Amino acid sequence: MPMATPLVFGSPETLQKTVVWIANRDDPPPQQDDRLVLTSDGKLILQTTAPQPKSIAEAAQSALWASMLDTGNFVIFNSRGNVLWQSFDFPTDTLLPGQSLVVEGELFSSIFVTNHSTGRFYIRMQSDGNLVQYPTGDERTSTSYYASNTCCRQDNLTTLNFTEDGSLRCQYNDSVQQWVSVLQQRNSLLPMDYRYRRDLPVVCFESE
C-alpha cells in the first residue's frame, strides 16, 4: 500500500504532524522531481514523468493564484479575489474548525497515521439528518456501526458544522441544532479523534 500521497496538508509545528487533507490518497507516492503546478485555466496538477499530469483540483474558470490559509484551507482564486476552489469543500478524513460536511458528504478513514490510503470505514451526513458510520463499500442499514439519531426533522438539513468551540452542529435552514460536543461527550462506537494542533482542534476519522 502507498505510504504517501501526491498532495498532503498538515501541521509543521508539532512533533507528530497531523495530516488534515489528502489528494489522490490511493495513488503511489510522488517522486522527487514531481512538481505541483497551478495553470492559468484553473487547474491544480501534479506533473510527473508520465505523459499525462495528475489532476488535484479543477476550478470552473481562469485562476490567478492559490493560497494556503492559516485555517488549514487551501484556496484557488481568480483575478477578482473570488474563491474558485477550496480544499474545505472536499474533506478526506478530517474536519477543521469552520469546516462543514454537506448533505451526503463523507469522511473516509485512513489506514494508519502514516498511511493515508482509504481505510475500512466511512461516515456519511445523510439527507435524513442522521450521521451514520458504515464499512467502506457497504451502506446497508444492518451493517452500520453508529448513528447519531438526529434524523427525521421536518426542516431541511443543510450541513454538519465543526465550530471553533469544539462542537459538531447540525444546521437546519436558518436554525442551528447542537448534535454533540466533542469536548463533553465521547461515544466509544464513533472512531473520531479530537486533537489539538497548538490551539487548533481537529476531528479525525480513523480506522481503529
Higher pLDDT, 194 or 137: 137
CATH fold of the domain at 94-205: Agglutinin, subunit A (2.90.10)
- Distance (Å, whole) CA 112 – CA 106: 18
Topology of 31-87 in CATH? Agglutinin, subunit A (2.90.10)
The domain locations on the chain are 31-87, 94-205
pLDDT the model gives residue 129:
76
pLDDT tens digit sequence for 106-126: 999 999 888 889 999 998 888
- What pLDDT is stored for residue 88 in this prediction? 94
pTM for this prediction? 0.76
Q: In the chain, pLDDT over 90 holds for what percent of residues? A: 26
CB 121 within 8 A of CB 136: yes
Q: How far apart are CA 135 and CA 121, in angstroms?
A: 4
pLDDT confidence tier of residue 130, bands split at 50, 70 and 90: confident
Higher pLDDT, 149 or 134: 134
Q: What is residue 3's predicted lDDT score, i.e. its pLDDT?
A: 36
Predicted pLDDT at 192 = 53
pLDDT of res. 76: 95
Q: Is it the case that residue 32 has pLDDT exceeding 50?
A: yes
DSSP designation for 141: G
Indicate the DSSP class of residue 196.
E
Q: Is the pLDDT of residue 161 over 60?
A: yes
Residue 18 binned pLDDT confidence (cut-offs 50, 70, 90):
confident
pLDDT: is 67 or 204 the higher one?
67
Same fold, 31-87 and 94-205: yes
Question: CA geometry: angle at 126 spanning 120 and 127, to 5°?
Answer: 160
